[in-house]
Chain A
Amino acid sequence: DVKVTQSSRYLVKRTGEKVFLECVQDMDHENMFWYRQDPGLGLRLIYFSYDVKMKEKGDIPEGYSVSREKKERFSLILESASTNQTSMYLCASSLNQVLTGELFFGEGSRLTVL
């Protein structure tokens, strides 16, 4: 079974703090994704990566950055957290970019910014 592990399930941070969200996948997948999920809105893509050290902006990259130094690990960084970044963050991986290859999701990291 593919496993996507998000290290922090629940975080509470203060405005202006730097936040790291870590994601690790164990299936040697090429692609990794960060989404945020908010009530009443669909999943929105923040960034994705198709290879080590490669990244592409998604639909809402402002206020976020990412790092992929190793194939299995994809980190989401909030340089200066703001209250409007309070959300559920979902990491996903896929074997490749072809749509027939499903996305495998982690269980999510719920971030609250006070």
Chain B
Amino acid sequence: QKEVEQDPGPLSVPEGAIVSLNCTYSNSAFQYFMWYRQYSRKGPELLMYTYSSGNKEDGRFTAQVDKSSKYISLFIRDSQPSDSATYLCAMSEGDSNYQLIWGAGTKLIIKP
């Protein structure tokens, strides 16, 4: 069993829809959670970073952590075609970036 699981998709939704992207994990010691976005033929770029449980909002993006269920989510409101990308979750027990464990990514397609 992988430490971090992500549905690979593709997830296809119409423009303007609310998108929910999810990761589940098995290690209850994970405390740091990140979402990266990767456009086709590009490297990943950081979208959101959260520590422990709770929600964090940044514009149209909301990251949510439920440690009791070992489940994290990224919500995208008013989705745009420019949001079409692969979304990677990453998490860590400790506060060191070389300890990150990555999900395989979910491919998201926003249809105009």
Enumerate chain A interface residues (CB-CB to B < 8 A): 4, 31, 33, 39-45, 48, 56, 58, 90, 92, 94, 97-108
Chain B, interface SS category = mixed
Instruction: Count contacts on B: residues with CB < 8 A to the other chain.
Output: 27
B98 touches A98 (CB 8 A): no
Residues of A within 8 A of B44 (CB): 43, 90, 103, 105
Number of residue pairs spanning A and B whose beta carbons lie under 8 angstroms apart: 70
B4 at the interface (CB under 8 A from A): yes
Residues of B within 8 A of A94 (CB): 97
Residues of A within 8 A of B88 (CB): 42-43
- Cβ-closest chain B residue relative to A44: B102
Closest-CB distance, A9 to chain B (whole angstroms): 8
Q: Considering the complex, which residues of chain B in the window 84-112 have a beta carbon less than 8 Å from any beta carbon of chain A? A: 88, 90, 92, 94-105
Residues of B within 8 A of A101 (CB): 97
Residues of B within 8 A of A105 (CB): 43-45
The answer to whether residues A42 and B104 also contact, given A4-B43, A98-B95, A108-B41 and a CB cut-off of 8 A, is: yes
- Minimum-distance CB pairs A-B, first 4: A105-B43, A42-B102, A102-B46, A43-B102
User: Complex Cα distance A108/B96, Å?
Assistant: 23
B96 touches A99 (CB 8 A): yes
A98 touches B96 (CB 8 A): yes
Closest-CB distance, B9 to chain A (whole angstroms): 12
B95 touches A99 (CB 8 A): yes
The answer to whether residues A100 and B49 also contact, given A41-B104, A43-B88, A94-B97 and a CB cut-off of 8 A, is: yes
- Cβ-closest chain B residue relative to A110: B41
Closest-CB distance, A102 to chain B (whole angstroms): 4
Residues of A within 8 A of B32 (CB): 99
The answer to whether residues A33 and B98 also contact, given A40-B8, A100-B49, A102-B49 and a CB cut-off of 8 A, is: yes
